[in-house]
């Protein structure tokens, strides 16, 4: 049931991870054949103090809508890397207001001016750029939460093929919850259509997966939906996750 950068062995688990192990296994067993909405409800009601981390990207509105229906006070963490598309920033405001989300936390790194004053880090070290602008501020924002909800899905990348609903974020004492793990692209489209949810404006321009503007390009017909993320790079994820209490690269 455990997923992380590498398969976890019992002896590799920290004390915090061990405390979560039984809970994660029970939740995965309980919700194995349940809907995404049920997984969201279970996470918010049974998993402790939980936040929804959202990029307000191409498919983010699905989980945001579910959270708004279940509890509009659900903490929503949005990381502004200061390299996002203007369309994403406007979409974040529109969706938050339209859905009535009352607890959106917009966070930014506090040391960009010191460590990347000219915005050139992305040219020399994309992983370091992701760490500075996204991963570190997100880790700080999640401090004190028992877990966080993500929009990751199995179909999005080979590194996500075995994704479970509930998993341990090794070394943090937190769990990660992936309600849409088993959804296909058609499930996302149907949900958005049935609930008349607003699309990210860049989707119609060929961006099925949207990250920072300098590292995201349009995708051609027949390409993988995430082909436009870090195009030409040996990189599939933002790249840095917590493992054994340390920031490490996972993904490609």
What is the structure's pLDDT at 4?
Answer: 43
Token look-up 């995708």 returns: 219
The tokens of 101 are what?
């989300």
The tokens of 33 are what?
């054949």
**For range 175-204, the mean pLDDT:** 94
Answer whether residue 88 shows pLDDT above 50: yes
- Which CATH architecture does the domain made up of 14-205 adopt? 3-Layer(aba) Sandwich (3.40)
The continuous run of DSSP H or E covering 241 comes out as strand 240-243
CA 137 to chain CA mean position, Å: 14
pLDDT tens by residue, 146-182 = 999 998 887 655 555 668 899 988 778 888 999 998 8
- Is residue 174 helix, strand or coil? strand
Domain boundaries, the chain: 14-205
Higher local confidence (pLDDT), 60 or 33: 60
**For range 36-56, the mean pLDDT:** 93
Answer whether residue 66 shows pLDDT above 80: yes
**Pick from 241, 250, 238: nearest CA to 122:** 238
**With a threshold of 0.85, does the pTM exceed it?**
no
Q: Is 130 a catalytic residue?
A: no
- Residue of 129, 130, 212, 238 with catalytic role: 238
The tokens of 162 are what?
């075995």
pLDDT tens by residue, 211-222 = 999 999 999 988
């Amino acid at each position: 049931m455990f997923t992380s950068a590498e398969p976890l062995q019992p002896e590799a688990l920290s004390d915090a991870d061990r405390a979560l192990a039984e809970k994660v296994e029970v939740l995965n067993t309980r919700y194995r054949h349940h809907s995404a909405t049920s997984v969201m409800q279970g996470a918010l009601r049974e998993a402790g103090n939980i936040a929804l981390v959202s990029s307000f990207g191409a498919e983010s509105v699905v989980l945001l809508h579910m959270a708004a229906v279940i509890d509009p006070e659900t903490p929503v963490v949005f990381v502004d890397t200061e390299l996002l598309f203007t369309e994403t920033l406007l979409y974040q405001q529109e969706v938050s207001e339209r859905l009535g989300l009352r607890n959106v936390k917009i966070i930014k790194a506090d040391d960009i001016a010191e460590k990347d004053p000219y915005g050139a880090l992305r040219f020399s070290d994309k992983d370091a750029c992701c760490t500075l602008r996204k991963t570190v501020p997100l880790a700080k924002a999640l401090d004190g939460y028992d877990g966080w909800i993500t929009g990751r899905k199995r179909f999005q990348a080979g590194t996500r093929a075995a994704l479970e609903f509930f998993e341990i974020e090794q070394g943090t004492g937190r769990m990660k919850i992936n309600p849409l793990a088993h959804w296909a692209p058609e499930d996302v489209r149907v949900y958005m259509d049935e609930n008349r949810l607003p699309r990210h404006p860049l989707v119609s321009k060929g961006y099925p997966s949207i990250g920072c503007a300098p590292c995201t390009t349009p995708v051609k017909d027949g390409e993988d939906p995430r082909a436009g993320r870090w195009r030409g790079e040996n990189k599939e994820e933002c790249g840095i996750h917590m493992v054994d209490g340390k920031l490490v690269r996972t993904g490609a």
